[in-house]
Amino acid sequence: MALKMYWYPKCGTCRKAKKFFEEHGIDVTEIHIVEAPPSKDELAQLIEKSGLPIQKFFNTSGQKYRELGLSQKLKEMSDTEKLDLLASDGMLIKRPIVTDGDKVTVGFKEEQFKETWV
């Protein structure tokens, strides 16, 4: 499976990830995370394959996250409620999310991308 990247074009971190793939000649299918956010089922699969806790999928530096006061609310929410919340708004999801169907990375760290995708 080709690489899929859920991203937001105005996000600096996402642009760094795109540039990384371009520089390494890696084809990536770009999916606008706000216009076409991953479904609840897709998110559940991404979270499971990443091996990361669901909290790592929240865009904690985002305006929407702060507006909703999620740093406190998430502590009392079930994973199902968190998943519903993530699926409801692409701006709440940490980005970029890159997957090949088996592996998943969240955010952009150059070393991690080199280890995982090159």
The tens-digit pLDDT sequence of the chain (118 residues) is: 689 999 999 999 999 999 999 999 999 999 999 999 999 999 999 999 999 999 999 999 999 999 999 999 999 999 999 999 999 999 999 999 999 999 999 999 999 999 999 9
Tell whether domain 3-117 is in CATH 3.40.30.10.
Answer: yes
Length of the chain: 118
φ, ψ (nearest 5 deg) of residue 32: -70, 115
Tokens of 67: 């507006």
Q: What gap in Å lies between CA 36 and CA 50, rounded to an integer?
A: 20
Q: What gap in Å lies between CA 11 and CA 71, rounded to an integer?
A: 21
Q: What gap in Å lies between CA 102 and CA 104, rounded to an integer?
A: 7
Return the pLDDT at 1.
Answer: 60
The answer to whether 89 touches 37, Cβ cutoff 8 Å, is yes
Return the pLDDT at 33.
Answer: 96
Tokens of 20: 């990384």
Return the pLDDT at 2.
Answer: 86
